[in-house]
């Protein structure tokens, strides 16, 4: 599964669970956020990771400290654009194997 297909699958998964997708592939000089969504009043920044196997630690292990720092800076940039009044959180949607198994970490 390619990156765009994994993000499509993750977005559909989140929609089925009641989240409203507001932005996909938000990019700025600090990094990229795969999905920005609303979960009720909470703004959710979602990192999507897909791995075919757990040989090198799996999808969760691929979210390194450096990647987390870039996500935080990109989220700060997004929030500076005006959507600062609501609480926010970072989630990860991890996709493993074929057929795809989805794990959602809130």
Question: Beta 88-96 vs 42-51: how paired, if at all?
Answer: parallel
For position 38, what pLDDT does the model report? 95
Q: Look up the pTM and report it.
A: 0.89
For position 58, what pLDDT does the model report? 67
Percent of the chain with pLDDT over 70: 89
Average pLDDT, stretch 41-69? 80
71-76 contacts: CB < 8 A, separation 24 or more?
Answer: 71/31, 71/33, 71/45, 71/47, 73/30, 73/31, 74/26, 74/27, 74/28, 74/30, 74/31, 74/32, 74/33, 74/45, 75/33, 75/45, 76/30
Euclidean distance between CA atoms 61 and 24, whole angstroms:
23
């Amino acid at each position: 599964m390619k990156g765009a297909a994994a993000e499509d699958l993750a977005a559909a998964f989140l929609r089925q669970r009641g989240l409203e997708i507001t932005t996909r592939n938000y990019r700025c000089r600090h990094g990229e956020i795969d999905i920005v969504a609303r979960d009720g009043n909470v703004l959710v920044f979602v990192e999507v990771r897909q791995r075919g196997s757990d040989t090198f630690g799996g999808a969760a292990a691929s979210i390194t400290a450096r990647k987390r720092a870039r996500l935080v800076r990109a989220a700060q940039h997004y929030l500076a654009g005006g959507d600062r009044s609501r609480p926010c959180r970072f989630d990860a949607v991890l996709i493993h194997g074929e057929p795809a198994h989805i794990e959602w970490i809130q």
